[in-house]
Amino acid sequence: MRIVIVGGVAGGMSAATRLRRLMEHTEIVVLERSGHVSFANCGLPYHVGGVIEERSALLLQTPQSLGARFGLDVRVGQEVAGIDRAARTVRVRDLATGREEDLGYDALILSPGAGPVRPPVPGIERALVLRDVEDTDEVVAAVAGARSAVVVGGGFIGVEVAENLVHRGLQVALVEATEQIMAPLDPEMVEPVHARLREHGLDLRLGSAVTEVGERTVTLADGTELPADVVMAAVGVRPDSTLARAAGLEVGPRGGIVVDEHLRTSDPDIYAVGDAVEKKDALDGSATLVALANTANLQGRLVADVIAGLDVADRPVLGTSVVGVFGLTLASTGWSEKRLRAAGRPYRAIHTHPANHAGYYPGAEGMALKLLVDPETDAILGAQGVGGAGVDKRIDVIATAITGGLRAADLAELELAYSPLYGSAKDPVNMLGYIDRNHRDGLVETLQWHELQERLDAGATLLDVRTPGEHESMPIPGGINIELDRLRDRIDELPEGELVVHCQAGLRGYLAARVLEQHGRHAVNLDGGYLTWAARPPRAVAVAGSAADGTGAAGDDADRGSSAG
Amino acid sequence: MRIVIVGGVAGGMSAATRLRRLMEHTEIVVLERSGHVSFANCGLPYHVGGVIEERSALLLQTPQSLGARFGLDVRVGQEVAGIDRAARTVRVRDLATGREEDLGYDALILSPGAGPVRPPVPGIERALVLRDVEDTDEVVAAVAGARSAVVVGGGFIGVEVAENLVHRGLQVALVEATEQIMAPLDPEMVEPVHARLREHGLDLRLGSAVTEVGERTVTLADGTELPADVVMAAVGVRPDSTLARAAGLEVGPRGGIVVDEHLRTSDPDIYAVGDAVEKKDALDGSATLVALANTANLQGRLVADVIAGLDVADRPVLGTSVVGVFGLTLASTGWSEKRLRAAGRPYRAIHTHPANHAGYYPGAEGMALKLLVDPETDAILGAQGVGGAGVDKRIDVIATAITGGLRAADLAELELAYSPLYGSAKDPVNMLGYIDRNHRDGLVETLQWHELQERLDAGATLLDVRTPGEHESMPIPGGINIELDRLRDRIDELPEGELVVHCQAGLRGYLAARVLEQHGRHAVNLDGGYLTWAARPPRAVAVAGSAADGTGAAGDDADRGSSAG
């Protein structure tokens, strides 16, 4: 029996090594188009930046090491030009010699990954991409003599590449067609990243389309010419389904190969895994593209289990992701608010601004968290975080809670490891649960930052319950100020009608709203307080009101797919 | 209506402030014996060490600030001397004047916390404890002129205090009666902490009983006299149930106040919360003591909800905990292996030695993880971690998985936030799930470090599949060496009979076992490899074989109860 695997990174190599552990005596051939297998794809931007100094650190395995350890027949520089499904053969082209030959298979696994998309503008062929080790070598060489760079696209790869080009000392512009980078997240969560990028000298161009790539420049739609010794295309990735299409295998609405829960394509002898296949969304079951390395690795292992006869099945995906940039962490799981709005799904949003650990212990770092909850069932629909240390931990805990079917209210009761070095006695995740319970039990009504203006226009009074000092130095225009600790005494001073209360982060506003409600006044709390409001995007109306931003599947823009990490 | 609360930290203050949010017009009186309420209990050791420089940082609220914000009547220096349940009054003693008066209540909440235990040895009255701000002042004063200190007891508080006394420049001995500190964890997970303490100059005395506290010394059972300008008693805490007992309220087998799921004591008008009450263990439903601040805070809030008529109920506890000491993190959730053994519960243990993030990204730190699983149901029974960055994250994720009812095999599929800065494409938690699946599916049989000698004595051959260099520099005595990559070729060289394979961390051993099994040889993999074996306690037989170590409830030794964090 011979199993042939097309693609020797992440999913493909996970499948190959797992197959060997389960089937010692089966012939396993891995065909890889590039010159390397099992390389650290997610490390490529960091080698460009010199953060990962040694190129060799990216090369986790070689065909030789995989042969010695796993008895795998790994062939690099080999492109599969076609599949003869009737004959059960693949046509293999040696890229060095151009010679082709047929190779028979009993089972075929496709793991071709996803390829970078190039925007269709004149001159774009000069733009470099970052998909494999050869690309990286090319970028490193180009950067060596360069002084300026333009990165086109503000997704994970674009942001990581831009940061690393800054590390290299280049003058870097990042051009993003929409009003925010990191499309899977909501704008008020991404705004701190915009600020951080600019603080580090990056020329961030939002809402800007590239119209032409010149010899040493990039031209934007508004006529701006950006200096660009190097141009990087990072507008996203697309499933590499060319081979599957040519073989007549079913390809889905989002352009990925269609597989069943056993990762079988429409041909029962052909399987597919990783970035190239369509997954099922964990929230609504729709077809989605999630180009993430952990998903690819999991699928690689599962397909081996299926072929070996173990009882396993693939699962829907949440699309948890994280990026670190200039010391800031940005992470998310599940759906964003804009995506929920675009889909017309009801939700409640909760914003908080906790510290990663007890404030009285030195070195506490701040973060912003956002939780999205189904108001009917209290199911957790998504979460996002941005800030310093501990953001990734909170998103991981919430992703696990979603997978475990916990309700948002259950987050209050999670027993998380607490000492003042690591968290708070009421951990930020617990606090989200506490706040959700207040919503569930009807104890508080909140307003989102993008709903404020409309409410004020309708005649509501904005009441700032912070101290006078805070009110003066960080105002939301149009508000009056009575600090919380004096509110009970001064309640008669308040004008009639609806009150929108706010504070710095949301807690005092909630306390004030409780006081007011129990004194017979209707009060709505501005969710996340001044801090969330202050992180609103500059062009708030356009972003908050646009359904178009929300139509992309979560993680569409991600590309951690072919890492062997 | 008047609600009286006894105890103004953690549980008590959480109850008071939540009650105010729910019941604006109710009289709420908080009676606190010490001079401070709502102080940062978990920060006290760090103020002793000067890590938290300002004493004021520990004082999160004052009676005045709580009065202004929450309309609470907070009275410090007030001891409750007795409860007249028939009259529904408490007798309140003013500790400054000695004057007593009766105070009526409609509902009474007891939140007295847990008090430090002093071992019954001559001279122990000289030993200081660390429970409140006054204690801290006393310790700070005593340390100022001191050169040496002995800490009696190696639980959370003992370890944190010992570390902080070292920070202060004292010569410090830590005396622990059993063979390991941090009783809730297993010995091989704690051994790295022993090593770290010693590296920092701490005189660690395990298996040592204190027989006498002298004027400037502490004497051990073996006759050793340790210099001790300062003596700290930290052998554990005991629920402060004196008042409840005296009032005839039901007290449980472990000495804590008995409450129902609505936190009601045996008197329907009296509630109790926090470290003083017995909880229900999440695994077996038994009565347990968990003195942790998050649990106390949660109960404080719940009791307020109950009194206000909301539909809530208390939950069983896992007892997740963490301690940081000299840069090392030690964390656990659920049951330990020794506790499972003592209870006669079947389990499988899995040890791994991952890095906190991708090894090819600079700065990766190592850790050891341990997972305990029910072999029948695949339920997660407990987890422990020790090492550098990221240990707390993994334990939190597993604690959340337990609460969500996930099986160990489900850990493989968790979608955790991955980038090379934060994790691995196969996160350490995912890896535990992958390994568990191999057990579940019968693909591997493992042996624990404490079972090795017996198996070798019975005639098994120990096969080291690491490289010759590793084999020579880090040997397990009695083993032969064939490195994994040459195993298939040299399989005929192996002696007959059972094989125990091992490598450095367990992975190559597993690969070797799969090869051997599929070539018709029976091979058992040493779980966690050389690294886990090397972390075995020096007196392994005594520790591994002793049921006595396992009879304490998880978290018995913890005291994060009265923090207001």
Can you give the pLDDT at residue A235?
92
pLDDT band at A60 (very low <50, low <70, confident <90, very high): confident
Longest dimension (CA), chain A: 89
Residues of A in contact with B293 (CB under 8 A): 418, 425
Can you give the pLDDT at residue A337?
98
Q: B310: how many CB neighbours lie within 10 A of its CB?
A: 14
Can you give the pLDDT at residue A256?
97
Whole-Å CA distances, A114 to A132, A167, A204, B358: 11, 27, 26, 22
User: Closest chain A residue to B334 measured between Cα atoms?
Assistant: A415
If you average pLDDT over residues A88-101, what whole number do you get? 97
How many angstroms separate the CA atoms of A485 and A444, rounded?
A: 19
State whether residue A294 is helix, strand or coil.
Answer: helix
| Statement: residue A527 has pLDDT above 80 | yes
How many angstroms separate the CA atoms of A377 and B405, rounded?
A: 19
* Residues in contact with B151: Cβ distance below 8 Å, sequence separation at least 6, in sequence order: B158, B161, B162, B165, B172, B173, B174, B175, B231, B232, B234
User: Closest chain B residue to A392 measured between Cα atoms?
Assistant: B417
How many angstroms separate the CA atoms of B288 and B256, rounded?
A: 9
8 Å CB contact between B89 and A505? no
User: Closest chain A residue to B313 measured between Cα atoms?
Assistant: A413
| Statement: residue A185 has pLDDT above 90 | yes
A-to-B residue pairs, Cβ atoms closer than 8 angstroms = 263
> Residue B244 half-sphere exposure, CB side, CA atoms within 13 Å?
32
If you average pLDDT over residues A471-500, what whole number do you get? 96
Q: B116: how many CB neighbours lie within 10 A of its CB?
A: 20
Q: In this predicted model, what pLDDT tens digit does every residue of A336-392 receive, in sequence order?
A: 999 999 999 999 999 999 999 999 999 999 999 999 999 999 999 999 999 999 999
8 Å CB contact between A408 and A384? no
When the pLDDT of each residue in chain A is averaged and rounded to a whole number, the result is: 93
Distance from CA of A199 to the nearest CA of B (A): 21
Spell B155-172 as b/e; 16+ CB within 10 A means b: bbbbbbbbbbbbbbebbb
Q: In this predicted model, what pLDDT tens digit does every residue of B194-239 receive, in sequence order?
A: 999 999 999 999 999 999 999 999 999 999 999 999 999 999 999 9
Please give the residue that has the higher pLDDT: either B560 or A173. Answer: A173
Cβ-defined contact of B320 to A413 (cutoff 8 Å): no
User: Closest chain B residue to A321 measured between Cα atoms?
Assistant: B417
Can you give the pLDDT at residue A213?
97
Distance from CA of B170 to the nearest CA of A (A): 22
* Residues in contact with B215: Cβ distance below 8 Å, sequence separation at least 6, in sequence order: B123, B126
Can you give the pLDDT at residue B496?
94
Task: Give the closest residue to B461 by CA, choosing from B501, B431, B424.
Answer: B501
Question: Residue written as tokens 């009074």?
Answer: A461
Residues of B in contact with A21 (CB under 8 A): 443, 511, 514
Can you give the pLDDT at residue A553?
32
- Is the Cα torsion angle A454, A460, A462, A463 positive or negative in sign? negative
What secondary structure does DSSP assign to A160-191, as a single string?
HHHHHHHHTT-EEEEE-SSSSSSTTS-HHHHH
Please give the residue that has the higher pLDDT: either A556 or A135. Answer: A135
How many angstroms separate the CA atoms of A238 and A210, rounded?
A: 20
What secondary structure does DSSP assign to B384-399, as a single string?
EEEESTTHHHHHHHHH
Q: How far is CA A563 from the centre of its chain?
A: 15
User: Which pair of structure tokens corresponds to residue A130?
Assistant: 């970052």
Whole-Å CA distances, A191 to A181, A324, A351, A476, B109: 9, 14, 14, 18, 45
Cβ-defined contact of A415 to B403 (cutoff 8 Å): yes
- Which domains are delineated in chain B? 2-114+238-307 (3.50.50.60), 124-235 (3.50.50.60), 321-443 (3.50.50.60), 449-526 (3.40.250.10)
pLDDT band at A561 (very low <50, low <70, confident <90, very high): very low
Cβ-defined contact of B415 to A399 (cutoff 8 Å): yes
Q: In this predicted model, what pLDDT tens digit does every residue of A303-328 receive, in sequence order?
A: 999 999 999 999 999 999 999 999 99
Mutate to test the interface with B, among A418, A436, A518 (most CBs of B within 10 A): A418
Whole-Å CA distances, A294 to A392, B165, B414: 15, 44, 9
State whether residue A352 is helix, strand or coil.
Answer: strand
| Statement: residue A524 has pLDDT above 50 | yes
Can you give the pLDDT at residue B170?
98
Phi, psi of B404 (to 5 degrees): -80, 0
pTM equals 0.95
Cβ-defined contact of A22 to B443 (cutoff 8 Å): yes
Can you give the pLDDT at residue A565?
29
How many angstroms separate the CA atoms of A400 and A349, rounded?
A: 19
Complete edge-to-edge strand list for the sheet that includes strand B523-526: B446-447, B523-526, B499-502, B461-464, B480-481
Distance from CA of B232 to the nearest CA of A (A): 20
Whole-Å CA distances, B59 to A396, A466, B9, B157: 32, 21, 11, 19
Can you give the pLDDT at residue B60?
87
Residues of B in contact with A22 (CB under 8 A): 443, 514
Can you give the pLDDT at residue A539?
67
Cβ-defined contact of B43 to A415 (cutoff 8 Å): no
User: Which pair of structure tokens corresponds to residue A524?
Assistant: 């709505």
| Statement: residue A544 has pLDDT above 60 | no
How many angstroms separate the CA atoms of A299 and B301, rounded?
A: 43
Residue spans of chain B under pLDDT 70: 539-565
**DSSP-assigned beta bridge partners for residue B270:** B108
Can you give the pLDDT at residue B565?
30
Q: In this predicted model, what pLDDT tens digit does every residue of A113-156 receive, in sequence order?
A: 999 999 999 999 999 999 999 999 999 999 999 999 999 999 99
Complete edge-to-edge strand list for the sheet that includes strand A523-526: A446-447, A523-526, A499-502, A461-464, A480-481
